[in-house]
Amino acid sequence: MGTASNPKTARKANGKVALITGAAKRVGAAIAECLHTHGYSVLIHYNHSSTEARALVDKFNQIRPNSAHCLQADLNHMDQIPALAIAAQNHWGRLDLLVNNASAFYPTPLTESTQAQWDNLINSNLRAPYFLCSELSHTLSVNKGCIINMIDIHAQRGLPGHPIYSIAKAGLEMMTKSLAKELAPNVRVNGVSPGAILWPEVELSDDAKQAIVDKTLIGKLGQDSDLAEAVYYLANANYVTGQILAVDGGKSLYSH
């Protein structure tokens, strides 16, 4: 694993510390920026996006020195999860918030799906968040911290052509509710369930995009900042645990 921290040399953070997985770009970067703007010191986890992660860290540290750091880990490899947890705890000597945002997403039609796809989607969306929660539960408990899992409205209604992804996100939703009980009262555990927020990295036709927008009540695509603000709300909602907040423009209520 790269970019581990030496606890003897790391300085103390000013204020609370958040670890955001998959935070180098897109929604993860927006969450990191929102938390940083609100005074958090942020640990930016990445797998392959080293350039983006380091650029984000440099940007944050120019705004506020010693307020951002990046950590590399491949969450598909179980042996890297404890190492990531140790590095996250050691860098500033504390952790208050874990945001499980990292996620693989691609279609897996039933008759064409493979065991490798199953492993990749289940590992990134469910297994890694579970064991990262386990590794960090003690330090989060000491700091009366919280965990926020990025789920998906398709955890409730499976996305056609994406059964493995939908299964993984459904597991993450149940994990959120189960760990809220397991870790109470010292650690709150909640989830944010996005709908049509940003377009996927795979190109969509204009008609496909319009069909998605038409199935929202608000009638437009959401922004990554909408998710980031929801994460910040839950991070500070001291009497909220075991809840899944849908940020979907009303798509989950769409009935026709």
Active centre residues (catalytic) = 165
d(CA 214, CA 240): 32
DSSP conformational letter for 67: -
* Token pair listed for 175: 């994990």
Q: Which of 66, 57, 71, 139 is nearest to 102 (CA)?
A: 71
Evaluate whether 172 touches 193 at the Cβ level (below 8 Å). no
Q: Residue 4 CB: number of other CB atoms within 10 A?
A: 16
d(CA 130, CA 13): 26
Amino acid at 238: N
